[in-house]
Structure 1
């Protein structure tokens, strides 16, 4: 674990990321921030509680938020990264106290389809830190042959697992936050507070924390490749042994096993971000019902429940992985998505024009900063060689206004643009869900500007952006809507955090497409409150209780 000071491409246009200005800027910022602490304590101790950023906050919370906000501004303007590790480096299990380190092979060839395919981003083996450290008897070793930690891999029947463990294993895949440039999956990293608590409360049998490649090491879609490799590995490791029925054998029919072996026929190896992709033709080549049947069949053979867990940027990666699984139809869907303050609109840093930039809310109550210039440079590096329009892909910014307008029309997009968690009552959820009966895919056989305007959900003409539809970046295969067939989701967010607006757009879009969403409201909560060790423990305990109740409900169904 280290703080890195080397320069990256995205820092070339950042004056404070170059020496000697970097050392001067970082040094003075740290010094003045430390000197501000006693002032903040004295000032807010004297000030009436009603004048605090949030009346419920303690002095400790106020000081911590102010301190972190100044530090976060340093990291963005000076390009400082911290808490990272080399994803290609082996971790000695003897140094780990709570987890075990395992390698997962690269995503298999037959699963390399869709947006994970990029000739300039190679598939690589992935490290993961697996909770708990002690390997359960029914869980096989996932280390590749020849590794120093290997043992024979034995696939067990679901019946064997259930008989031994008393229940279907609940497996979590944890994707840490950090803006795709900070933090690690290592057990000592800050985000590890999340899997640690879930394991302490026995909500999961195992949690695999993925050491995915940050943008310093590889651009999009490297992180999706890495997360997909771990997901596919867990699915295969927990797959039940299918058996052919007597009638199927006598008729010469293919067994379930043969169906699974031929799952590459479900989807072409087509990158949906390329400009020559014809969504109308792809829709005709794929039979949606056939794909759903095959995925459902694979799900019945899955001997565990799998939850995708992600905080902040990790939540963004969870959404991208779930979309890839849904779009390609070659793996069974996860059973649940646990999204903790997910980043779901990075395109916010790329307004149509500088004058149209709308600052994120809650500037005085969150530690996140909203400095679009360095954030835009960083995200441009994240895209790699992909065009800038890729930032508006549902795989990157599923809650951007451009995506919502393309799928649902102006009326819906504007209705959720300023939605807050305080407004999300039963009546609002019902209103969002009543919109789900209308078709809502932006896929069209001809470019939008060559057709007459299509009707919006409210019957009014809908002018669609040529940029959105001329390129298939904002599109879904097989005529699916934005969140059609997504698994159940639990979304945690605070009403004092800067991502509230975009997360609520995400919630609204999911509800509109019929996803079963459990929203956990952290009143006066900042961004990613569950990994903030200095936050009110009673508040965090209530949030954990709500999450674990949801996990049990999904796990038992």
Structure 2
């Protein structure tokens, strides 16, 4: 795990990030942790189960969480990064066994608007690891047809008849599902490479046949670009899929429209009723993200909605999403509210290192920028501005959840899309006036909509023993208030992002995968 790369700018103020102190700290931390493993096994082996962090936990689970927690301290204090890659370099294709690597061009200039526009951060090509390695026959046929059309000097083929599927699928075939996967790691760890631990998520989704393709985005971590670099990369991949895979065409109003399957040869935008194809054979895009990747998924969905230039995704799958990074900055009020479940999760709140990471992540922006809905959508300040006093109630852990009652099994919103009465207008004079004790020009919605209005249907997975429990619960309830079709799956006694761990209680994990499968089938069945 030792990282030989040079000290990154955000590590400059960390004493243990410099050699030889870095080596000394890492070695002593690893050795003492290995020494503690048998001590934990003996201690919790002879103690009654009610003395364990969670009574249902096995000795293996206890060791996993405690071991990762101590190693996470190395990551934060000594500035060690885990499993990262240079996003500008292409991997050796021959070494890829499950994926193929492709490049997406930089975000088109006409789409560089809103939050992704930043004079200090340049849009660049983005690497993608595409699951599976061998494309589906329909994908090859579509690409061959596109290539032939581009080279031909004769008019394009006639459109298919109504009811015919352009890819030759049966009339009752389900739609083709494409996933855009954004990995976690606090914006400074892991990679989209198939060897990364986070790749357990797209691997399972592909192997179980939930998706036909998943594009894992090798977005720039904060070591390479601050905000909005990661969002620029995610938006570039999404735009690439919409324009090239779905065949979206630009209309006279500057927006991109996906044509009906029977109209794919036409260049004019479809009528308003046909903006989003209703046929079962249209390709559907699902945004998938775990931890910090979930935070990036929320930002991408918000940018697509706010700018209204690209067709929206069909759904979002959020696995232990990070929804309130604002608590990591000591300069802002949110840092005074400690996160729950310190003893049952491996996530840390080491003040100085986390603050340095966030300051690097924010780049040239001031600390108050962390309260932007693009970064901390379920923070106390943002919720109070958009949802009033009721939004603050969502930050309190519900007693039923603490006691482990089964009231948490499912929650799903009404699915009605309507502007929230507390939506903030774009004008700076309207920002936060009369709704919070302090004003912040970054807590605003340029589209004038609610905090989550018009977001796609969402499935949220969270453990009831993880440190992000409160902010994820606040996210779900905020989405419900704004009419999003949101559903929660609770992992009983689960720590943070347990689907990427090499080992956990398989009964719990299999239960989560079953609910994900059920949700995916619902998406397929929708017209």
**Aligned positions of 1:407-486 closer than 5 A:** 407-409=386-388, 411-420=389-398, 422=401, 425=407, 439-443=421-425, 445=427, 447=429, 453=434, 463-468=435-440, 471=441, 473-486=442-455
For residue 516 of structure 1, report the CA deviation from its aligned partner. Answer: 0.6
For residue 352 of structure 1, report the CA deviation from its aligned partner. Answer: 5.7
| Residue 516 (1) aligns with residue 485 (2) | yes
Deviations 1:96-138 (A, max 9, x none): 1111111111111221111111111111111111011101222
* Contact preservation (8 Å) 1:185, 1:191: yes
**Aligned positions of 1:52-451 closer than 5 A:** 52-139=52-139, 152=147, 159-161=165-167, 163=169, 166-239=173-246, 260-264=250-254, 297-298=275-276, 303-351=282-330, 357-409=336-388, 411-420=389-398, 422=401, 425=407, 439-443=421-425, 445=427, 447=429
Distance change >3 Å, CA 108–CA 101, structure 1 → 2? same
- Deviates most, 304-313 or 101-110: 101-110
Deviations 1:17-45 (A, max 9, x none): 12332222111111100110111111111
Structure 1 runs not aligned, ≥5 long: 144-150, 242-256, 267-292, 454-462
* Contact preservation (8 Å) 2:114, 2:303: yes
* Contact preservation (8 Å) 1:436, 1:512: no
| Inter-partner Cα distance in structure 1 for 2:412 and 2:188 | 38
| Inter-partner Cα distance in structure 2 for 1:484 and 1:354 | 26
SS at match of 2:82: strand
**Aligned positions of 1:499-514 closer than 5 A:** 499-514=468-483
For residue 358 of structure 1, report the CA deviation from its aligned partner. Answer: 2.0
- Deviates most, 173-182 or 344-353: 344-353
* Contact preservation (8 Å) 2:102, 2:128: yes
Normalised TM-score (structure 2): 0.86
* Contact preservation (8 Å) 1:367, 1:526: yes
Distance change >3 Å, CA 108–CA 355, structure 1 → 2? closer
Distance change >3 Å, CA 154–CA 23, structure 1 → 2? farther
* Contact preservation (8 Å) 1:448, 1:466: no
- Deviates most, 334-343 or 129-138: 129-138
Deviations 1:422-461 (A, max 9, x none): 289499969999998860113375636997x4xxxxxxxx
Match of 2:268 in 1: none
Normalised TM-score (structure 1): 0.82
SS at match of 1:177: coil
CA RMSD of aligned residues (A): 3.2
* Contact preservation (8 Å) 2:202, 2:214: yes
| Inter-partner Cα distance in structure 2 for 1:502 and 1:384 | 24
Distance change >3 Å, CA 88–CA 81, structure 1 → 2? same
* Contact preservation (8 Å) 1:2, 1:83: no
Structure 2 runs not aligned, ≥5 long: 151-158, 257-270
For residue 385 of structure 1, report the CA deviation from its aligned partner. Answer: 1.1
SS at match of 2:385: helix
* Contact preservation (8 Å) 2:327, 2:335: no
| Inter-partner Cα distance in structure 1 for 2:492 and 2:296 | 25
| Inter-partner Cα distance in structure 2 for 1:545 and 1:429 | 16
- More helix, by proportion: 1
For residue 503 of structure 1, report the CA deviation from its aligned partner. Answer: 0.6
* Contact preservation (8 Å) 1:184, 1:211: yes
For residue 376 of structure 1, report the CA deviation from its aligned partner. Answer: 1.2
SS at match of 1:440: coil
Distance change >3 Å, CA 444–CA 213, structure 1 → 2? closer
SS at match of 1:520: strand
